[in-house]
Amino acid sequence: MSDNLLLSLLWALPLAGSVLVLLVPGRSDLAVKGTALGVSALTFALSLVAFSSYLSGGLAETPLADRAALNTLTVAEGTGAVSLVDEPGDLVFRGPWIPYFRIQYFLGLDGISLSLVLLTGLISLLACLASWGIDRSVKGYFSLFLLLLASMMGVFLALDLFLFFVFFEFMLLPMYFLIGVWGGARKEYAAIKFLLYTLFGSVFILVAILVLYFYAPDGAEPLHTFDALRLMARTEHFTGTIFGFGVQSVVFALLLIGFLIKLPAVPFHTWLPDAHVEAPTPISMILAGILLKVGGYGLIRLAWPLAPVGAFELSWVVAVLGVVGILYGALAAMAQTDFKRLVAYSSVSHMGYVTLGLAAMNLIDPRYYSYGVNGAMYMMIAHGITSAGMFFLVGVVYDRLHTRDLGQLGGLMNAMPVFGGVTMLIFFGSMGLPGLCGFVAEVFVVLSAFNYSYGLAILAAAAVVLTAGYILWALQRVLLGRNDSHRGLPDMSMREVAVAAPLVVLTVWLGLFPQSVLGWVGPSVDRVVAAVASANGAMPEAEEVALSDAAGGSSR
Amino acid sequence: MMDAWQGWLYVAAVVIPLAAFVVQILGLRLFRKQTALIATGAIASSLILSAIGFGSYFIASGGMPSPHAEGHEGESPEASPAAAGAFSEGRAAPLAWSGNWTWVSLGRGLLPDRQPLAIPIGIRIDALAVLMFLMVTFIATLIHVYSMEYMEGDPRYPRFFAYLSLFCFSMLGLVASSSVFLVFVFWELVGICSYLLIGFWYEDRSNSDAANKAFIVNRIGDVGMLVGLGLLWTQLGTFDIAEINAGLSAVEARQGDALGRITSEDPGAVWNVMIGGTERSIPHWILVLAGLGIFAGCVGKSAQFPLHVWLPDAMAGPTPVSALIHAATMVAAGVYLVGRFFPLFSAEVLLVIAYTGGITLFLAATIALVQVDYKKVLAYSTVSQLGFMMLALGVGGWAAGLFHLLTHAFFKALLFLGAGSVHHAVHTYDLRPLGGLRRKMPVTAATMLIGTLAISGVPLFSGFYSKDAILASAIHFVSERPGHALLLVLPASGAAMTAFYMFRMWFLLFTGSSRGWSAAGLAPEHGQRDDPAALAHESGPRITWPLRILAVPTVMIGWPLTILPLAVAGLPFHPVLEDWLSSAAPLPAQPLGSAQSWAAATSLLVLVVGVGLAFLAYHPSKTIRRIDPARMAAHLGGLYSLFVNSWYFDEVYQALVVRPCLAIGRRAAWVDRVVIDGIIDGLAAITVALSRLDRAIDASVVDRLVSLVAGMIYVLGGVGRRLQTGRLRSYLMVLSIAFVLLSVGVLVWVVR
């Protein structure tokens, strides 16, 4: 399959699916759901195809920029005739889109984006399966659902800033309607809050993109390109000031605000609890599992590499925001009485680790920083799995009891043992219990933070107590105790088990064998680290303190 | 890569219980009661493997070390100026089997000439680990057998054994770990097993509260541990315990200290440490901080002051769990880690460890004196004994502390299992209505008496030797540092109290006759009859046989080769086990000299005081003039209520930590709801108001302007319409006038 076909299908297939769903004849809800499920499954299968060709092609070893350089696009000055070279099998495609502004249809995958594409495929498939209970305007729901899937895929695929921005904005639309139409009691408020909040952030991103377009130099001339990779390669020339601030600092700050709102980081987070509480269960899964990752992805893919010097200058602000987020989210989670709101705040806390991991920029020995960025990346994947699972489990309870009030739950362990076991495991995964996925991310970030600032690292480490506090307390209020009114509740159905099982397996697998993911994500992350470090002048000269190779027992 | 076949043996011993756990948890409904057999079979195979490993280690390391080898070496007076470096180099490295594999490796190519930074996982089996394996698997196997009867009829019987298997895996993994990172992993895993088993009967709110408390208090310690991990990793670039130990053992600063500790007047002093062939450096204050951090983890896990509060509550779990996890194995893990990582701790930290142990053992002993719940007596006694071990390590008695860990594991497991046997018969943990059970439960009574004799430190029983070793270390330390006399007073008085409260418990349970609820002035629990012991009878064989079997090591493992405690007569003597341990010590032991004789005398003295008082106060015999316990309590006055209320730790923590935390959490949620959302909603409201204003301006100003313009055009149009007369003549006239005007204009312009 050519790169163009494969990469384009990843977003075009669900887009076509969203139209197809509307065309399903008759009033059969099952046919609509089946079609949507089929399209989601196919999309996931496509992401697996991309994954296998990434692995079999050994693409983890070649930097994305090198691969992209082989795919060229030239537009003849006078005639506008397009000639493009597409290197087959490298998961990069560069095509023309709006040649006048040098906007390209530029798609590509590396470890960072591929892991999130896989996550998107999987979580969407599971969310689609979890949407079986939707009974209102089924066609509209699934059409919007697939539209959302298409735009999320596009965000992770795009390497042209303009294209990225188009997908980024387009995501909001289906989400707005999915919350606003199929949501809970305060759905209009939550939907409009979500929409305006994120649109507000988008403005900053747009300005940053335009600044890059007009300012980024190519020798004496401005570069005038939206090609993210070319811009990244030019960062060392990207100096000068805007209103007395360094251009890089300005660009970084703009991108940072935009993506921190999406992440979300304290104090830009209050759209999240409302959106989560009001959204229907599968949409909460997507929101927590994927949409929040768009923020983190934007930071790691764009903000840091596009403005590495600015990032380094502002890193302490970001690190403080991260630690504040971790603690604030955990404390706020502890005070919640609504099960879903508690889980939502746990997301705020966990996304703080992403921010901190990225910001722990000690560049003296970038290998430690690499642990921070990899930890942040791992947190996105791990949180994508556990938080989707947590929201799903909240939904399972809500479907049966029609309440999320922690005061009224309790005793579910005895009534629903399978549910109890799954809940314990997923929540422990979120708590950062060793052997489960959250631990790896958390511990990498905290350990790496010790290379940046002892104070912040100790505060971040202290958060594990709060995390244990709110998770265990929540489990106690939901599962434990005795509650005779819940006796006889049906345990999880086969469909529900089918949704939960992959999440459970991944929670354990990612906790035990992190190298199975980091083996192909890590090289891409390390290249980001290397680029950031060398842009700040830290890379070439290795400092004098000798390090042992803790490379394992091969020598021992 | 594993360097010896025995390593694989131990990997198997660790992994078999995990496999058993997976099989059980996936087949909960399939196997039902067979899970007990799966779990027991798994841990029994681990026991067999550990025994083979022990034998193999014994042979490979050349059998028994010659007694006093350490002592003689050190006694040559000024051997110590030859310095710590020479100390460790002079000794052949103790035998250890190890294997390490890369778990995660990141940062390839980030530094041109360096390897990627990896986190390895691996095992390291040294003499201490060999003994710990044997102890853990032995006790765990017996407790599995015991639980089959004790837990019979419980609706979650299969799950209980699944959890036990998970625990065994985690505990054995902890013992085997080669790196402190992996220790942390298993540290948390044993913590979660403890959580699951304390809250095993989660229908009762108090049980799940206790489970939460245990896990969260442990996590407070774990924060310290994480800090220690981070600091060590940052400074030394490795987590490997053996590497760090080797590097720190050779640090020059040990030379200046008579006790071979790392001391420095200047916190900023930087030590150069050889780690795996490369030199790294670590400032003294960071080393102290890292040591305190790691120790904080041990404080949590081993229930030391000030984090001891979780262990008494943990007794909410089933009694076999209390015996296995909360007495013999998991709670000793903190002591084990301090022992394992001993060279890490500098002089300041060791002093903190010693005082923490001393305070803990004293506090817990005072509380144990007045408990009316016999399981709580044992719980506080466990806390107190763990304090003894910590104190021993802190004063440099490495072998003594770990020796006590091993002896304590056996006699405390025995005591807890005995307590469980009693509860199985009488269904209450309250001492007050009970009594006279000796006749009804002879095996339980006899074995518990053996345990009591051991823990009180009666000669010929194992506890005597280990406690004696601890006191000897303390005396030696105090004689070197007379300013720290408290470190001798605390354990000596603690030992006396131990003898007192243990005999008090035994007398109240087993001697005299049953008192009954009403005589004790209490209402019966759970609708029991007045005399809870009325129907009591000896438990079945699956309970009594583990008791009998445990009684054997309880007596014997402390024995020196000559059996008799000849130190009293001034002759040297050493328990076999202690010798074996000290031959494996990471730092060379200190010669104790005359401290041993003093210690023996002290321990006998405190024993007589403690047992004597208990005898006078609680023995039912009429011939001995009795002390009235109530009058003793009255003499203690305010102290008595302090002890009964456990020094008010729970209340203080509730007020200073828990409630403020919740309050801050609520405040954070309030800030979100009111402040941040207030700003957001306010901005939205302002925007809406602005757009309303805009609409009003549109309607009143802009629209009017537009209408005005339109109106004017209309008027003009009206005027213009009048011009449109349609008559050719008037058009021509206008045209000609215009032409004339234009021509005149042009003419004027040209002429000028």
Chain B touched by A374 (CB under 8 Å):
yes
Task: Find tokens 């922690």 and name the residue.
Answer: A406
Q: Considering only CB atoms, which chain A residues are within 8 Å of B159?
A: none
- Give tens-digit pLDDT for B136-175: 999 999 999 999 999 988 888 999 999 999 999 999 999 9
Nearest CA distance, B89 vs chain A (angstrom): 19
Q: Which B positions 547-576 lie with beta carbon below 8 A of chain A?
A: none
Query: Are residues A438 and A432 in contact, defined by beta-carbon separation less than 8 angstroms?
Result: yes
Residues within 8 A of B (CB atoms), A 219-248 only: none
What are the pLDDT digits (tens) for A373-385?
Answer: 999 999 999 999 9
Contacts of A270 (CB under 8 A, 6+ apart): A193, B672, B676, B677, B680
Measured CA to CA, the distance from residue A308 to residue A538 in angstroms comes to 12
Partners of B122 on chain A (C-beta within 8 Å) are 552-553
Return the number of other C-beta atoms located less than 10 Å from residue B131's C-beta.
23
Asked if residue A43 lies in contact with residue A79, where contact means CB atoms within 8 angstroms, the answer is no
Decide if A218 contacts A168 (C-beta within 8 A).
no
Residue A82 pLDDT greater than 90, yes or no: no
- Is it the case that residue A140 has pLDDT exceeding 70? yes
Would you state the pLDDT for residue B75? 37
Please tell me which residue, B294 or A82, carries the higher pLDDT value.
B294
Phi, psi of B347 (to 5 degrees): -55, -45
CA pair distance A509, A525, nearest whole angstrom? 21
Residue A194 contacts B where some CB pair is shorter than 8 Å: no
Instruction: Report strand pairing: A241-242 vs A245-246.
Output: antiparallel
User: B8, B104, B279: best mutation site toward chain A, by most A Cβ within 10 Å?
Assistant: B104
Backbone angles phi, psi at A531, to 5 degrees: -65, -45
Cβ–Cβ < 8 Å for A380, A297: yes
Rounded to two decimals, what is the model's pTM?
Answer: 0.90
Q: What share of chain B is helix, strand, coil (3-state, %, to 5)?
A: 70, 5, 25
How high is the pLDDT of residue A345?
Answer: 93
Residue from A186, A445, A549, A555 whose CB has the most chain B CBs within 10 Å, to mutate: A549
Smallest CA–CA distance, residue A35 to chain B, in Å, is 34
Contact A145, A304 (CB under 8 A): no
Within 13 A of A416's CA, how many CA atoms are on the CB side?
24
Distance from CA of B177 to the nearest CA of A (A): 13
Contact B116 A367 (CB under 8 A): yes
Inform me whether the C-beta atom of residue B112 falls under 8 Å from chain A C-beta atoms.
yes
Tokens standing for residue B138: 């032995």
Surface of A (150-169) touching B: CB under 8 A = none
Measured distance CA(A385)–CA(A123) in Å, rounded:
8
Shortest Cα–Cα distance, B413 to chain A (Å): 28
Q: Is the Cβ pair B680, A193 closer than 8 Å?
A: yes
Q: pLDDT tens, B100-132? A: 898 988 887 777 666 788 888 999 998 899 999
Residue-level pLDDT at B64 = 62
B interface test, pick of A478, A526, A548 with most B CB neighbours within 10 Å = A548
> Tokens 């994947």 label which residue?
A381
pLDDT score for B65: 58
Kindly give, in sequence order, each residue whose CB lies less than 8 Å from that of residue B192, ignoring residues fewer than 6 positions away.
A428, A433, B215
- pLDDT for the residue numbered B435: 83
Residues in a beta bridge with B575: B560
Closest residue in chain B to residue A411, using alpha carbons only: B203
Split at pLDDT 50, 70, 90, the class of A547 is very low
Q: Look at residue B72 in the predicted model and tell me its pLDDT.
A: 38
- B238: nearest Cα among B275, B209, B274, B210: B275
What are the tens digits of pLDDT across the range A221-278?
Answer: 777 889 888 888 877 767 777 777 788 889 999 999 999 999 888 888 889 999 999 9
Rg of chain B, C-alpha, whole Å: 38
With beta carbons less than 8 A apart as the criterion, state whether A123 and A285 touch.
Answer: yes
- Counting as low any pLDDT under 70, the low residues of chain B are 63-93, 112-114, 527, 561-573, 622, 624-625
pLDDT (tens digit, 9 = 90+) per residue, A383-425? Answer: 999 999 999 999 999 999 998 999 888 889 988 999 999 999 9
Task: Give dist(CA B239, CA A516) in Å, integer.
Answer: 22
**Mean pLDDT taken over chain A:** 88
What ipTM does this complex have? 0.91
Confirm if A383 and A290 have CB atoms less than 8 A apart.
Answer: no
Could you tell me which of B95, B90, B34 has the C-alpha nearest to residue B65?
B95
- Residues in contact with A158: Cβ distance below 8 Å, sequence separation at least 6, in sequence order: A106, A107, A164, A166, A167
Who's near A475: CB < 8 A, 6+ residues apart?
A423, A424, A427
pLDDT for the residue B301 = 93
Burial class (CB in 10 A: 0-12, 13-18, 19+), B682: exposed
Closest approach of chain A CAs to the CA of B45, in angstroms? 24
Please give the pLDDT value at position A555. 36
Which residues, other chains included, contact A537 with Cβ-Cβ below 8 Å and sequence gap of 6+? none
Predicted pLDDT at B27: 86
Cβ of A143 under 8 Å from any chain B Cβ?
no
**For residue A70, is pLDDT > 60?**
yes
- Residue with more model confidence, B435 or A444: A444
* Residues A177-193, mean pLDDT to the nearest whole number: 90
- Is A481 within 8 Å of chain B by CB? yes
The 3-state DSSP class for residue B282 equals strand
Say whether A368 and B243 touch across the interface (CB within 8 A).
no
Contact: B223, A336; criterion CB under 8 Å: no
- Encode burial over A152-166: b for 16+ CB neighbours within 10 A, e otherwise: bbbbbbbbbbbbbbb
Contact: B203, A468; criterion CB under 8 Å? no
- Rounded mean pLDDT, A502-514: 94
Between chains, do B188 and A433 touch, taking CB under 8 Å as contact? yes
Cα–Cα dist B681/B672, whole Å: 12
pLDDT at residue A534 greater than cutoff 70: yes
d(CA A367, CA A349) in angstroms, rounded, equals 25
In 10 A of CB B366, how many CB atoms? 22
- Per-residue 3-state assignment (H helix, E strand, C coil) for A503-538: HHHHHHHHHHCCHHHHHHHHHHHHHHHHHHHHHCCC
What is the rounded distance in angstroms from the CA atom of residue A327 to the CA atom of residue A345? Answer: 11
Cβ contact, residue pair A328, B668, below 8 Å: yes
Cβ within 8 Å, pair A526-B223: no
Amino acid at A24: V
User: If we measure between CA atoms, which residue out of A364, A435, A462 comes closest to residue B230?
Assistant: A462
Closest by CA to A128, choosing from A275, A292, A286, is: A286
Residue B138, helix vs strand vs coil:
helix
Would you give the distance in Å from CA A497 to the centre of its chain? 25
- List chain B residues with CB under 8 Å of A447: 226, 229-230, 233-234
* pLDDT tens-digit readout, B461-492: 899 889 988 999 999 999 888 889 999 999 99
Contact across the interface for A334 and B277, Cβ inside 8 Å: no
Residue A105 pairs in a beta bridge with A95
Quote the CA–CA distance of B607 and B594 in Å, as a whole number: 20
Query: Up-side HSE of residue A145: CA atoms within 13 Å toward CB?
Result: 39
Answer yes or no: are the C-beta atoms of B435 and B531 closer than 8 Å: no
Unique residue bearing structure tokens 């004789």 = B597
CB contact under 8 A, B665 and A465: no
Q: Does A545 touch chain B (CB under 8 A)?
A: yes
